[in-house]
């Protein structure tokens, strides 16, 4: 037998054996194969296959988040009456996805200790023992009355890992607050206890990772209700992602309903992750509902909701009797805790608690409302491709060192410098070597070590030290440790200033890094000054267009968030020009810059130019990406809205049709992108007279919303409203009216009474009723629409004028002639001065008709 034939035999036997039950395999193999050598090899392979420990091949060179292939064995066996370690199991407390929780007690010589014993399915935590030993010391350091203590842990006789925790007899915070009818202040007081306990853990750099009401219990004690947090640090102990110098966060969050965007995307977990969960808990505690629900959603839809959708403001979700109290500061504070980007949240639970105390004490709070729109999703999306993990942090350090080495060589510096740096890194990595220290050196402490050693190791080489500080700063930034990142960038800047004076490109690069960090943290004033300084220097450099562009772009963002759109525009345009003059221009970078320009142009009302810019972005994407890339579809959709605003309806139809075709080919059929594009498509089709198709598009959108988020949703209601408008245009008046009334009811149930959608939907219904001559019914509805829209639109806005004119017409027919005339005249005046508005002739005709009836009704005039 040739080696190839022999191996083929081995493979076949192995695969066939795998299809049999484990206990039958040996016998089967003995029958099937009489060559003991081959049999031995197959048995060895089977042993490796069945072993739980991962081998080298399970850690691909660069792991991807979707490559998890763990097959968990989820059999649980009830253990009542049995012993687990030193614990005697006395009852069942509950079952969860990961395992079972029992009541247990330990009888010692002197006292009896009760515990909640958590038994984990063996498949969940293959190297649990190792992790437990590693984390135990850390968790034992948590000593706070608000945190249930970890008493013991180990591996049961059958191999299942277990944890014994202080037994807490309480109810979840939300249920407790309801059952005891707590008022707002009492609820906030309870919540502050939660914050204080979490803050204690944050001080010890322990993140809970899975905060939710079932983990936040309230006990009645003599001193009043006391909060106890369960399962602190347990999520990390049991999670897939770990140590791993190789694996990224793969299994996703433990509890999707309370997961933060970064948990969902497999990005670094920080104290701000707990702040997000605290925001969700506070929201639920104050309103009785969660800001969003992802129950029953698929992963991509849930991601959309968690990572992209700005939640309904706290006060809009609350029952009317408490909504007033929540409006303002509490809205803002919860909004800040729930920011999509960790950098925009309160950094730790202590900061959230401090702001809540300021609120309770009647002092001004630190959180401030987000006054200008910004794209919440951008930050996270930009990061997710690289899925940062501990492994990548180390790799990033090496890559950063590579740049520094290269610079050292380019400067023809002595080779010793490069060698020194290399030794430093190798030492650093050795300390992270899995075989040396039991697989987990906490990344942050690795970095802290590096930061502490840097200056003394490179005392004679400040240029190298500065580069390393920069790399450390970037790495801390990725881990969400902004204070540490800042310290590193500040140090790099100081070193370089001392070396090169104030205006050297490397100095400016350090300023740019610091400015970028501050912009991301929303610290606009310091970002503004350092970037302005950097810009002044960068303008004097030659061949540093990349640097110049980066500064201009950050500064443009600062201006925009400060509300100075004109200056933002100027800076973003200069950034694009700078990106274009780089030696090897990067089209995508240029297109991203132009996207900023288009956003600002749109803000300034310069829609013509915004659209022209969007067209250029689109053509870049078409060149740079594969024709099916989703970014092209998104650009087309944005462009279609731009065309619609410019009344270029045919162009709008074409752009949307192409976007739809692309989405249909590339995204899941229930994708929110598809729903949203379909829902935008209806009004466009209505404008070109294709009513039946408009209705069909909206119905399709409604179907998607219904399947994914249900019918009590603004997206569903908006599509229903537009479908009804298309029906009205096709003469199906009764169906249209019913649809509009249903849409209004949904908007009313899901948003505040003065939401613009309430204005739009009541206007549609009022128009329909007026067209049917049902003026007495139309009048109050149009009045409400007018009131809502008037509160947000300038007096000379054509939309407002249109409603005024329509309301005037109805009032005229009802005999309210004085009010009718002033509304009709006002509407006509505004629309007459709006070039190209198709509603102008109608307004003029209404006024003329009113005046005509006036002429035939003597006595009505005065």
Partner 1 sequence: MADVHEITRLLAQVREGDDEALRRLIPIVYDQLRVLAHQQRRRRNPGETVNTTALVHEAYEKLARSGSGFNDRQHFFRVAARAMREVLVDHARAQRRQKRGGGQRPLPLDEDLFLPPQRPDHLLALDEALTRLTALDTRQAEIVELRYFVGLTIPEAAEVLDLSPATVKRDWTAARAWLHHTLSEAA
Residues involved in catalysis: 210
Q: Work out which of 1, 30, 44, 855 binds partner 1, going by CB under 8 A.
A: 44
Q: At its nearest, how many Å lie between partner 1 and the CB of residue 569?
A: 23
- Does 477 help bind partner 1 (rule: CB under 8 A)? yes
Nearest to partner 1 of 241, 728 (CB atom): 241
Task: Mark the segment that binds partner 1 (CB under 8 A) among 145-153, 366-374, 377-385, 595-603.
Answer: 377-385
Question: How, if at all, do strands 161-166 and 112-120 pair?
Answer: antiparallel
Task: Mark the segment that binds partner 1 (CB under 8 A) among 115-123, 332-340, 401-409, 819-827.
Answer: 401-409
Residue 695: phi and psi, rounded to 5, are -65, -40
Cβ contact 146:228 at 8 Å: yes
Site for partner 1 in 739-768 (CB under 8 A): none
Instruction: Report the alpha-carbon distance of residue 33 to residue 16 in Å, rounded.
Output: 12
Instruction: Report the alpha-carbon distance of residue 510 to residue 490 in Å, rounded.
Output: 8
- Does 527 help bind partner 1 (rule: CB under 8 A)? no
Q: At its nearest, how many Å lie between partner 1 and the CB of residue 435?
A: 8
Which positions ≥6 away from 281 have C-beta within 8 Å?
A: 173, 174, 191, 194, 211, 212, 213, 216, 258
CA 649 to chain centre: 34
Q: At its nearest, how many Å lie between partner 1 and the CB of residue 32?
A: 16
Tell me the angle at which helices 25-32 and 3-18 cross, rounded to the nearest 10 degrees. 140
Q: At its nearest, how many Å lie between partner 1 and the CB of residue 343?
A: 13
Task: Mark the segment that binds partner 1 (CB under 8 A) among 29-37, 39-47, 743-751, 791-799.
Answer: 39-47
Binding mask 484-523 for partner 1 (x = CB under 8 A): ----------------------------------------
Task: Mark the segment that binds partner 1 (CB under 8 A) among 352-360, 422-430, 669-677, 839-847.
Answer: 422-430
Instruction: Report the alpha-carbon distance of residue 547 to residue 781 in Å, rounded.
Output: 57
Cβ contact 286:318 at 8 Å: yes
- Does 415 help bind partner 1 (rule: CB under 8 A)? yes
Instruction: Report the alpha-carbon distance of residue 829 to residue 845 in Å, rounded.
Output: 12
377 burial type by CB count under 10 A (0-12 exposed, 13-18 middle, 19+ buried): middle
Task: Mark the segment that binds partner 1 (CB under 8 A) among 208-216, 393-401, 636-644, 645-653.
Answer: 393-401
Per the DSSP assignment, residues forming a β-bridge with 113 are 106
- Does 135 help bind partner 1 (rule: CB under 8 A)? no
Q: Work out which of 98, 235, 405, 830 binds partner 1, going by CB under 8 A.
A: 405
Cβ contact 144:246 at 8 Å: no
Q: Work out which of 8, 612, 787, 845 binds partner 1, going by CB under 8 A.
A: 8
Nearest to partner 1 of 385, 818 (CB atom): 385
Nearest to partner 1 of 179, 403 (CB atom): 403
- Does 70 help bind partner 1 (rule: CB under 8 A)? no
Q: At its nearest, how many Å lie between partner 1 and the CB of residue 39?
A: 13
State the number of binding residues for partner 1 (CB under 8 A): 70
Cβ contact 152:115 at 8 Å: yes
- Does 436 help bind partner 1 (rule: CB under 8 A)? no
Closest-CA residue to 30 (of 15, 18, 22, 42): 42
Q: At its nearest, how many Å lie between partner 1 and the CB of residue 5?
A: 10
- Does 167 help bind partner 1 (rule: CB under 8 A)? no
Nearest to partner 1 of 399, 738 (CB atom): 399
Instruction: Report the alpha-carbon distance of residue 624 to residue 74 in Å, rounded.
Output: 46
Q: At its nearest, how many Å lie between partner 1 and the CB of residue 745?
A: 45
Q: Work out which of 174, 193, 246, 641 binds partner 1, going by CB under 8 A.
A: 246
DSSP state at residue 122: G
How far the first Cα of the chain sits from its last, in Å, is: 116
- Does 28 help bind partner 1 (rule: CB under 8 A)? no
- Does 783 help bind partner 1 (rule: CB under 8 A)? no
Instruction: Report the alpha-carbon distance of residue 185 to residue 699 in Å, rounded.
Output: 45
- Does 45 help bind partner 1 (rule: CB under 8 A)? yes
Nearest to partner 1 of 79, 555 (CB atom): 555
Q: At its nearest, how many Å lie between partner 1 and the CB of residue 470?
A: 8
Nearest to partner 1 of 58, 564 (CB atom): 58
Q: At its nearest, how many Å lie between partner 1 and the CB of residue 7?
A: 4
- Does 395 help bind partner 1 (rule: CB under 8 A)? yes
- Does 474 help bind partner 1 (rule: CB under 8 A)? yes
Q: Work out which of 406, 608, 692, 815 binds partner 1, going by CB under 8 A.
A: 406
Q: In what order do the strands lie in the sheet with 87-95?
A: 83-84, 87-95, 99-107, 112-120, 161-166, 150-155
- Does 776 help bind partner 1 (rule: CB under 8 A)? no
Give the CA angle between residues 382, 384, 385 to the nearest 5°.
90
Q: Work out which of 20, 48, 647, 665 binds partner 1, going by CB under 8 A.
A: 48
CA distances to 141, 150, 170, 669 from 116, in Å: 19, 10, 13, 45
Cβ contact 673:663 at 8 Å: yes
Task: Mark the segment that binds partner 1 (CB under 8 A) among 38-46, 327-335, 452-460, 768-776.
Answer: 38-46
Long-range contacts of 423-429 (CB under 8 A, 24+ apart): 424/453, 424/457, 424/458, 424/468, 425/397, 425/398, 425/401, 428/397, 429/394, 429/398
- Does 1 help bind partner 1 (rule: CB under 8 A)? no
Q: At its nearest, how many Å lie between partner 1 and the CB of residue 434?
A: 8
- Does 625 help bind partner 1 (rule: CB under 8 A)? yes
Q: Position of tokens 């193999």? A: 29
Instruction: Report the alpha-carbon distance of residue 310 to residue 247 in Å, rounded.
Output: 30
Site for partner 1 in 49-68 (CB under 8 A): 49, 55-64, 66-67
Q: At its nearest, how many Å lie between partner 1 and the CB of residue 171?
A: 44
Q: At its nearest, how many Å lie between partner 1 and the CB of residue 622?
A: 10
Q: Work out which of 388, 443, 694, 763 binds partner 1, going by CB under 8 A.
A: 388
CA distances to 319, 401, 477, 777 from 766, in Å: 28, 67, 53, 8
17 burial type by CB count under 10 A (0-12 exposed, 13-18 middle, 19+ buried): buried
Task: Mark the segment that binds partner 1 (CB under 8 A) among 224-232, 291-299, 379-387, 780-788.
Answer: 379-387
Q: Work out which of 227, 394, 535, 686 binds partner 1, going by CB under 8 A.
A: 394
780 burial type by CB count under 10 A (0-12 exposed, 13-18 middle, 19+ buried): exposed
Task: Mark the segment that binds partner 1 (CB under 8 A) among 3-11, 122-130, 456-464, 760-768.
Answer: 3-11
Site for partner 1 in 583-612 (CB under 8 A): 586, 588-589
Instruction: Report the alpha-carbon distance of residue 463 to residue 509 in Å, rounded.
Output: 13
Q: Extract the tokens encoding 164.
A: 């014994």
Task: Mark the segment that binds partner 1 (CB under 8 A) among 445-453, 619-627, 708-716, 748-756.
Answer: 619-627
- Does 81 help bind partner 1 (rule: CB under 8 A)? no
Q: At its nearest, how many Å lie between partner 1 and the CB of residue 403?
A: 8
Q: Extract the tokens encoding 842.
A: 């109608």
Give the CA angle between residues 18, 19, 25 to the nearest 5°.
60
Which positions ≥6 away from 237 have C-beta within 8 Å?
A: 125, 128, 131, 132, 135, 163
Q: Which residues bind partner 1 (CB under 8 A)?
A: 3-4, 7-8, 10-11, 14-15, 18, 41, 44-49, 55-64, 66-67, 245-246, 382-383, 385-388, 391-392, 394-396, 398-402, 405-406, 409, 415, 418-419, 422, 426, 429, 432-433, 435, 471, 474-475, 477-478, 546, 586, 588-589, 623, 625-626
């Amino acid at each position: 037998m040739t080696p190839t034939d022999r191996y083929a035999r081995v493979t076949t036997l192995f695969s066939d054996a795998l299809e049999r039950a484990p206990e039958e395999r040996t016998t089967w193999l003995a029958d099937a194969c009489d060559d003991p050598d081959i049999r031995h090899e197959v048995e060895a392979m089977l042993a490796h296959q069945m072993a739980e420990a991962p081998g080298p091949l399970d850690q691909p060179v660069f792991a991807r988040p979707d490559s998890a292939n763990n097959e968990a064995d989820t059999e649980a066996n009830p253990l009542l009456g049995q012993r687990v370690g030193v614990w005697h199991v006395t009852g069942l407390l509950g079952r969860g996805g990961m395992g079972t929780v029992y009541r247990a007690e330990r009888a010692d010589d002197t006292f009896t200790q009760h515990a909640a014993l958590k038994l984990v399915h063996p498949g969940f935590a293959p190297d649990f023992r190792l992790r437990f030993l590693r984390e135990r010391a850390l968790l034992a350091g948590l000593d706070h009355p608000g945190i249930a203590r970890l008493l013991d842990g180990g591996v049961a006789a059958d191999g299942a890992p277990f944890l014994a925790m202080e037994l807490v007899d309480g109810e979840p915070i939300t249920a407790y607050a309801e059952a005891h009818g707590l008022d707002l202040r009492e609820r906030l007081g309870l919540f502050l206890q939660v914050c204080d306990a979490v803050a204690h853990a944050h001080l010890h750099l322990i993140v809970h990772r899975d905060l939710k009401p079932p983990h936040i219990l309230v006990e009645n004690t003599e001193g009043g209700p006391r909060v106890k947090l369960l399962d602190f640090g347990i999520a990390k102990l049991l999670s897939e992602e770990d140590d791993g110098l190789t694996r990224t966060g793969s299994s996703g969050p433990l509890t999707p309903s309370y997961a933060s965007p970064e948990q969902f995307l497999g990005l670094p977990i920080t104290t701000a992750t707990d702040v997000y969960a605290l925001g969700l808990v506070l929201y639920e505690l104050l309103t009785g509902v969660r800001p969003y629900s992802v129950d029953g959603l698929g992963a991509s839809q849930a991601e959309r909701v968690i990572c992209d959708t700005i939640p309904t403001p706290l006060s809009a979700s609350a029952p009317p009797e408490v909504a007033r109290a929540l409006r303002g500061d509490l809205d803002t504070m919860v909004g800040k805790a729930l920011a999509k980007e960790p950098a925009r949240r309160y950094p730790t639970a202590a900061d959230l608690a401090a702001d809540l105390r300021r609120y309770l004490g009647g002092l001004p709070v630190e959180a401030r409302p987000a006054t200008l729109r910004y794209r919440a999703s951008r930050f996270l999306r930009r990061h997710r491709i690289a899925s940062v993990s501990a492994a990548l942090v180390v790799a990033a350090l090496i890559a950063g060192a590579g740049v520094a080495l290269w610079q050292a060589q380019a400067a023809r510096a002595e080779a010793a410098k490069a060698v020194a740096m290399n030794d430093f890194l190798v030492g650093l990595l050795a300390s992270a070597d899995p075989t040396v220290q039991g697989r987990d050196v906490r990344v942050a402490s690795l970095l802290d070590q590096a930061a502490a050693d840097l200056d003394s190791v490179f005392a004679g080489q400040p240029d190298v030290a500065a580069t390393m500080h920069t790399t450390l700063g970037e790495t801390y930034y990725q881990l969400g440790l902004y204070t540490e990142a800042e310290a590193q960038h500040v140090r790099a800047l100081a070193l370089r200033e001392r070396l090169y004076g104030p205006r050297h490109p490397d100095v400016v690069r350090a300023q740019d890094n610091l400015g970028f960090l501050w912009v991301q943290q929303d610290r606009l004033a310091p970002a503004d000054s350092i970037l302005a300084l950097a810009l002044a220097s960068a303008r004097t450099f030659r061949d540093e267009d990349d640097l110049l562009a980066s500064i201009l772009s950050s500064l443009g963002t600062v201006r925009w968030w400060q509300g100075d759109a004109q200056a933002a525009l100027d800076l973003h345009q200069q950034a694009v020009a700078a990106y274009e003059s780089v030696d090897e221009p990067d089209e995508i970078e240029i297109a991203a810059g132009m996207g900023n320009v288009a956003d600002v142009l749109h803000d300034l009302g310069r829609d013509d130019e915004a659209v022209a810019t969007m067209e250029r972005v689109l053509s870049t994407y078409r060149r740079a990406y594969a024709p099916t890339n989703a970014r092209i579809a998104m650009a087309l959709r944005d462009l279609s809205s731009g065309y619609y605003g410019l009344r270029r309806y045919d162009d709008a139809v074409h752009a949307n049709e192409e976007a739809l075709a692309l989405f249909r080919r590339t995204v899941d059929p229930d994708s929110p992108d598809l729903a949203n594009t379909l829902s935008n498509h209806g009004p466009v089709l209505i404008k070109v007279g294709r009513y039946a198709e408009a209705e069909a598009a909206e119905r399709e959108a409604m179907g998607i919303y219904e399947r994914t988020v249900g019918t009590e949703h603004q997206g569903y209601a908006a599509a229903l409203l537009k479908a009804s408008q298309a029906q009205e245009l096709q003469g199906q008046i009764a169906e249209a009216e019913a649809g509009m009334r249903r849409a209004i009811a949904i908007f009313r149930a899901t948003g505040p009474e003065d939401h613009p959608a309430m204005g739009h939907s009541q206007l549609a219904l009022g128009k329909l009723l007026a067209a049917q001559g049902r003026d007495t019914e139309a009048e109050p509805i149009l009045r409400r629409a007018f009131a809502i829209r008037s509160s947000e639109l300038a007096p000379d806005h054509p939309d407002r004028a249109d409603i005024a004119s329509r309301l005037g017409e109805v009032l005229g027919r009802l005999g309210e002639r004085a009010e009718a005339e002033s509304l009709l005249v006002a509407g006509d005046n505004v629309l007459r001065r709006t070039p190209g508005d198709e509603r102008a002739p109608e307004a003029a005709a209404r006024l003329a008709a009113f005046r005509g009836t006036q002429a035939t009704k003597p006595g009505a005039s005065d």
